Every structure is written in C-alpha cells, then in structure tokens.
Amino acid sequence: MSADPSHHYLAYDQLPQPVVAMESRWRHGMSTGWHSHPRGQLLYATEGVMVIHTDAGSWVIPPNRVLWMVTGLRHCVTMSGDVVMRTAYINVDQVSAMPAQSCAINVSPLLRELLVEAVRIAPGAALSARHARVLELLIDEIQVSPTLPLHLPLPQDKRLHHICTALIAHPADAASAAQWAASIQVAERTLHRLFAQETGMTFAQWREQARLLHALRRIACGDKVIDIALDCGYASPSAFTAMFRRHFGVTPSGFYR
C-alpha cells in the first residue's frame, strides 16, 4: 500500500468496471486535499473518523456510517485519529438507482462485510461470477440502507456564513438568535428566514447539529463526556446525553460500539 495515498485514487477513476474498491491508510490529521471524482464515491472508515468538507457543508463519518458522494462533488477529507479507509467508486451511468444526493448511510453488518470483500477484488480484472454477485449485492445494500443526519450545511449568504463559522469554532457560544441578528444588523425574523432558506434548518437546529458533529469528533478522540458536554455548551452531561440520544438513539459512549 502506498505510503502517500493522496493520489492513489486516480487510477481507480479510469477503470472500466462499474464498481471498483480500494483501501488506504491515513495518519491522524492528514488530509486528501480538495479534489473530485468522475464517479460516485462511497467512503467508509473501519477505524478512525473522517471529516468531509464540501463547498456546501460538511459531514462527520464514524466507523458505523458510510458517506455516499455524488459524481463530481468537490471535497476534502480530514482524518480524526488514524484512519483505515475503504472506498468504492461507482459509475452511475452503469449502475442505476443510486442516491441522487450525497448522504450519510447506516452501515449494516452485511454492508460492512461487502465493502471489506470488494477491496479484495483485483481492479481492472475480469470479474468472476462470485465477485460480480458481491458487487451487485453491495449496490443493493446501499440502495436499501437508511440515511442519517450527519450533514452540516453551510449557507452561501456571507452574513450567515460568518455566524456559522463562528459557531463551528466555538460550539459552546450561547448567544441567542436575536443577538446574532443584531451582530449582522438584521431583524431576528430575517435571521430565521435566511437560515431556513439557506440551510433548510432553523437557527436552533443548525446550532444543535454543529454541536453534535463537534461532539462526534471529540468522542472519537476518547474525550470524557463531561468535557464534551461543557465544550458544546450544555450545563450537564445528562442534558448533552439526552440530546445525543434523541438524535442517534444511543448514548455518546455507545455510539462507536
């Protein structure tokens, strides 16, 4: 495996097979740099957490989730912890009914094992009957897997972008919508309308989502729940845990199991 995997994907983009998969290893803090693919891409980390940035927002993808990215999406992947990444490149002109929008997808035990097996298939080689079935079942499993709320959209409006950037940098900031509206010299009602138009979320929903994704990165690093809760602006670990469970159905300590 290449010691510098940053451009290892280039050869896979040009292969004739409709689905090809590869594995790469990345150290904590490494980044792919900004790039895009002529194929759809499925990103899965068996170890570590990936933070995927796009011009329209970001995702935090832990080991029990995968990210589907549509063809041509400009993105950059940054690693939180050492990451073992498995990537499937899918030609959507040859494979129908793939998700029309980029999204985070739950990883069932079957999908996980199919991704592991797909990496073992030699790229560019003629597919055996068994390998063809593995890839067909991989596609089927992607198509029926539920999506999850791990996306943080970024607004194009420069005023809102300033607010969102500040909240990402300081998730514990407790300034109200009225205070943020005053800081950009608009009415509070205008702020709420702009957030709905630009992100599809209310101001409160967006801030909570930003805190959730910040928390996922901290949990991946092994930080204590009490420290994460306070860093996300919650008065107690129990309040933070209740919010986390409402979104993901599990406690913070149980999320990566």
- At 35-72, the pLDDT tens digits run 999 999 999 998 888 999 998 899 989 887 899 999 99
Coil vs helix vs strand at 77: strand
Q: Is residue 5 very low, low, confident or very high in pLDDT (cuts 50, 70, 90)?
A: low
Question: How big is the chain, counted in residues?
Answer: 257
Cα–Cα distance, 184 to 155 (Å, whole number): 15
- H or E element at residue 30: none
CA separation (Å) from 197 to 101, 194, 211?
A: 18, 5, 21
More confident residue, 134 or 10: 134
Residues 6+ apart with CB under 8 A from 210: 152, 164, 167, 168, 171
pLDDT at 159: 94
Please tell me the least confidently modeled range out of 1-5, 23-27, 143-147, 162-166. 1-5
Residue with tokens 């149980």: 254
pLDDT at 176: 95
Structural domains in the chain, sorted by start: 5-148 (2.60.120.810), 154-254 (1.10.10.60)
pLDDT at 139: 94
29: left (phi over 0), alpha (psi -120 to 50) or beta: left
